[in-house]
Structure 1
Amino acid sequence: MPKNKPHPGEPRRAAPARPAPPPTPDPQELAQAASAQSGFAGLGSLRDALKVQTRQRERERAIEKAARTEAAADSDLFRREIGSVAPLKPPMRALPRREAPVPLPLQTRLDEQAVLHEAISDDFDPEAYLDTSDSLFYHRPGVSAEVVKKLRRGAWIVQAQLDLHGLRREEAREALQNFIREAGKRGLRCVRVIHGKGLGSVGKEPVLKGKVRAWLVQKEEVIAFCEARPHDGGAGAVLVLLQPHSHSHAQPRQSP
Structure 2
Amino acid sequence: MTRRIDRLSEDDRVLWNLVARTAKPLKGKAAVDVADFRVEPKPAPTPAPVNGAPSVAAKPRTQHVSHALDDQTLNKLSKGRLPLEGRVDLHGMTQDEAYSLLFSFLHRAHAGGIRYVLVITGKGSSSGGDGVLRRSVPAWLSTPAFRPLVSSHDHAARNHGGSGALYVRLRRTRT
What is the letter of the counterpart of residue 193 of structure 1? Answer: V
More helix by share: 1
Cα deviation for residue 237 of structure 1 reads 0.3
Cα deviation for residue 206 of structure 1 reads 1.7
What is the letter of the counterpart of residue 91 of structure 2? Answer: H
* CA deviation vs aligned residue, 1:153-175 (integer Å, no higher than 9, x gap): 12631111111111011111111
Contact in 2 for aligned 1:158/1:190 (Cα 8 Å)? yes
Runs of at least 4 residues off by over 2 Å: 103-107, 113-118, 140-145, 200-205
1:210-221 pair list within 5 angstroms:
210-218=135-143, 219=146, 220-221=148-149
Contact in 2 for aligned 1:148/1:225 (Cα 8 Å)? no
Contact in 2 for aligned 1:151/1:239 (Cα 8 Å)? no
Among 57, 71, 74, the alignment partner of 1:152 is 74
2:130 matched to which residue of 1?
205
Among 137, 156, 166, the alignment partner of 1:238 is 166
Which ranges in structure 1 are unaligned for 5 or more consecutive residues? 1-102, 119-139, 248-256
1:170 and 2:96 equivalent?
yes
* CA deviation vs aligned residue, 1:31-69 (integer Å, no higher than 9, x gap): xxxxxxxxxxxxxxxxxxxxxxxxxxxxxxxxxxxxxxx
What is the letter of the counterpart of residue 149 of structure 1? Answer: D
1:40 matched to which residue of 2?
none
What is the letter of the counterpart of residue 150 of structure 2? Answer: V
1:61-100 pair list within 5 angstroms:
none
Aligned residues: 120
Structure whose alpha-carbon radius of gyration is higher: 1
Q: TM-score, structure 1 length as denominator?
A: 0.40
Contact in 1 for aligned 2:121/2:137 (Cα 8 Å)? yes
1:196 matched to which residue of 2?
122
Matched-pair identity in %: 29
1:224 and 2:172 equivalent?
no
* CA deviation vs aligned residue, 1:201-249 (integer Å, no higher than 9, x gap): 34442211111001111212101110001111110000000011368xx
Report the Cα distance in structure 1 between the residues aligned to 2:67 and 2:106, rounded to whole angstroms: 22
Contact in 2 for aligned 1:116/1:177 (Cα 8 Å)? no
Which ranges in structure 2 are unaligned for 5 or more consecutive residues? 1-5, 13-38, 45-62
Contact in 1 for aligned 2:65/2:151 (Cα 8 Å)? no
Q: Secondary structure at the match of 1:193?
A: strand
Report the Cα distance in structure 2 between the residues aligned to 1:142 and 1:168, rounded to whole angstroms: 26
Distance 1:105 1:232, change over 3 A: closer
1:129-144 pair list within 5 angstroms:
141=64
2:112 matched to which residue of 1?
186
1:101-116 pair list within 5 angstroms:
113-115=39-41
TM-align CA RMSD: 3.5
